[in-house]
Amino acid sequence: MSVPRRIACLSTEAVDTLYRLGAQHHIAGISGYTVYPPEARQEKPKISGFTSMKLDKILAVQPDLVIGFSDLQRPLLDECERAGLATLWFNHRDLAGIHAMVLRLGDLVEKEVAAKALCEQLQACQDGIAAAAALLPRRPRVLFEEWDDPIICGIGWVSEIIELAGGIDIFADKARAGLARDRIVSAEDILARRPELILGSWCGKRFVPDKVLARPGFAELGARLLEIKSADILAPGPMAIERGAVQVLAAIQAFVSDSSIPICKT
């Protein structure tokens, strides 16, 4: 593939990555959900949502490549292909996939050196988080809520982040599921696994702790509840590591240091 000059980014992590690589001039349009970097919202036209788009808006920016992520955006890319547009689909679900995505985009826009440097920066961040987590006196049980109705637990890279940051993801067994519907859990499942820390990141809307505590039996858990903005952790790009994972570590560190649960038996 020749170097694309006008890229339509339906996924926010592609926007952030291309800016970080110094390749923002290749971006012709962005998702309306783009948060990082902030200047992208001022500089680039918004051409899509996450699961919806109007083809005429895509065509209007005259892309020579459309980039999307996940099974939810695959139908959008299929529509673009039927209109004669080239597409690139990512579907990674883990931290290794984030690194691979960065390297692929770097290769695509001839920014291989910058992409390698970014991956090294991200790995250094991960290593620092792991080193800090190794100093924790214990590992608390963590529930990550990606959605509230139905309750959806964290996706693969989120589960990895929890483990990296010194927590125990109570639904690690579900995190590798490819589809969100396969990560639906019941309130009864959650109560049975007794989370101590509940991290809420309700994709695209504000986390409301009172709604969680209103569920039968949840107040009695005595769990600590905390929001992590979805833009910081649910887009599988650099921000999930540099902002999301750092916040998860801070939440676990604060919980363990403040916890009234005995750390050592006496």
Query: Does residue 139 or residue 49 have the better pLDDT?
Result: 139
| Banded pLDDT at 177 (limits 50, 70, 90) | confident
Q: pLDDT at position 259, please?
A: 54
All domains in the chain, ordered by first residue? 7-91 (3.40.50.1980), 122-258 (3.40.50.1980)
How is 66-119 classified by DSSP, letter by letter?
EEEEHHHHHHHHHHHHHTT--EEEE---SHHHHHHHHHHHHHHTT-HHHHHHHH
Widest pairwise Cα distance in the chain:
70
Q: Is the pLDDT of residue 261 over 50?
A: no
Tell me if 191 sits within 8 A of 217, measured CB to CB.
Answer: yes
β-sheet bridge partners, residue 226: 199
Q: Where are the alpha helices (DSSP H) in 134-266?
A: 156-164, 187-193, 209-213, 230-233, 238-239, 246-258
Cα gap 184→74, rounded to integer Å? 21
Q: pLDDT at position 264, please?
A: 28
β-sheet bridge partners, residue 89: 68
CA-to-CA separations, 261 to 195, 213, 233, 248, in angstroms, rounded: 13, 20, 28, 20
pLDDT tens string 182-202: 999 999 999 999 999 999 999
Nearest to 126 by CA among 98, 102, 93: 98
DSSP-derived pairing of the beta strands 151-153 and 141-148: antiparallel
Backbone φ/ψ region at 217: left (φ over 0), alpha (ψ -120 to 50), beta = left
CA-to-CA separations, 89 to 67, 78, 118, 188, 201, in angstroms, rounded: 6, 10, 21, 36, 24
pLDDT tens string 106-161: 999 999 999 999 999 999 999 999 999 999 999 999 999 999 999 999 999 999 99
SS (H, E, C) 137-163: CCCCEEEEEEEECCEEECCHHHHHHHH
Write down the residue that tokens 């109560």 correspond to: 191
Tell me the three state secondary structure of residue 38.
helix
CA-to-CA separations, 160 to 56, 142, 202, 224, in angstroms, rounded: 39, 12, 18, 20
Per-chain mean pLDDT for the chain: 94
By residue count, the chain amounts to 266
Tokens of residue 108, six digits? 């695509």
Tokens of residue 189, six digits? 């499942």
Cis amide prior to 236 (ω within 30 degrees): no
Q: pLDDT at position 2, please?
A: 85
